[in-house]
Amino acid sequence: MNIFIGSKEECDLKGAQEIVNQIKNKPNTVLGLATGSTPIDMYGNLIKKYKAGEVSFAKVKTFNLDEYLGISRDHPCSYYNFMQENLFKHIDIPQDSVHLPNGEAADPEEECKNYEKLIEGSGGIDLQVLGIGHNGHIGFNEPGTPFGSVTQVVDLTESTINANSRFFDSPDQVPRQALSMGIKTIMQARRILLFAYGADKAEIIKEALKGPVTPEVPASVLQLHPDVSVFLDHEAASRL
Ligand code: GLP
């Protein structure tokens, strides 16, 4: 595991450069993408690099980690909408190359199976971007999720609902369930870039990177992955 510690701006730039290098080496890269506030400025750098002619996403495919269950793609808080606003609509990626689980699927279990098959069918994820929840969740894999899990319907914990309520008008509007890639799905990515910023992530970063590998801290599984790069600002790294 490589750990880079710098300013948030340095992390956002270095992370974006890693992704650009990956796409230059393999133009038809399959990217795994994350939502949340953490990757927004890193995505902003990807947009700048695209506009500067440094990279094209024309052959890239993307798979997002997760989507809320029961809200439409057009809902302002859907992860589909988040990705359009923060990345996709600003770059040259074809719309049919972007994938998120469908939060309105008539049969969510079936949707999860199909999503997993779609990832496999595209050759698997070359590079997965991750953030981390305060309880150690990656994607929406909450503490206790088995390491062998694949894409599935998950119940959100109260702490995640409260943390994510900042994007909604009130906590009651946050969906209680989501469709999320599983821990095994994430671990099958060939490379993983994990980003964490701010003092409020310091404790969970210490537990995830230096503590025991346990389903109680889902991100601790990353210690077992052969190619993980972690980008931390000084605050998030302050307990290491
Ligand atoms: C959300 C997402 C995760 C994200 C995490 C952290 O619940 N499902 O993919 O990494 O929360 O969010 P933030 O980056 O806003 O701290």
Domain locations along the chain? 2-233
pLDDT at 197: 98
Q: What is the pLDDT of residue 35?
A: 97
Determine if ligand 1 sits within 6 Å of the CB of residue 86. Answer: no
Considering only CA atoms, which residue is closest to atom 5 of ligand 1? Answer: 133
Residues 6+ apart with CB under 8 A from 41: 8, 9, 12
Instruction: Give me the residues of the chain with pLDDT under 70, please.
Output: none
For 108-162, how does the pLDDT look when each residue is reduced to its tens digit (9 = 90+)?
999 999 999 999 999 999 999 999 999 999 999 999 999 999 999 999 999 999 9
Q: Whose CA is nearest to atom 6 of ligand 1?
A: 133
Q: Does the Cβ of 35 fall within 6 Å of ligand 1?
A: yes
Q: Mean pLDDT across the chain, nearest whole number?
A: 97
Strands 152-155 and 177-180: antiparallel
**Taking a C-beta distance cutoff of 8 angstroms, is the pair 131, 34 a contact?**
yes
Position in ligand 1 atom list of the atom nearest CA 66:
8
Give the per-residue pLDDT at 122. 98
| Mutational pocket test of ligand 1: of 41, 71, 137, 233, the residue with most ligand atoms within 8 Å of the beta carbon | 137
- What's the CA gap between 32 and 16, in Å, rounded? 14
Query: Quick count: other Cβ atoms within 10 Å of Cβ 196?
Result: 24
Q: What is the pLDDT of residue 185?
A: 98
Q: Is 2-233 in CATH node 3.30.930.10?
A: no
| 132 CA closest ligand 1 atom index | 10
- Which tokens go with 49? 């690099």
Q: Which two tokens stand for residue 134?
A: 């305060």
Q: What's the confidence (pLDDT) of residue 155? A: 95
Ligand 1 center to 53 CA (angstroms):
30
E strands present in the chain = 2-6, 30-33, 61-64, 66-68, 98-99, 127-130, 152-155, 177-180, 191-196, 228-233
Distance of CA 36 from the midpoint of ligand 1 (Å) = 4
**Predicted pLDDT of residue 40:** 98
| Predicted pLDDT of residue 203 | 98
CB within 8 A of 21, min separation 6: which ones?
A: none
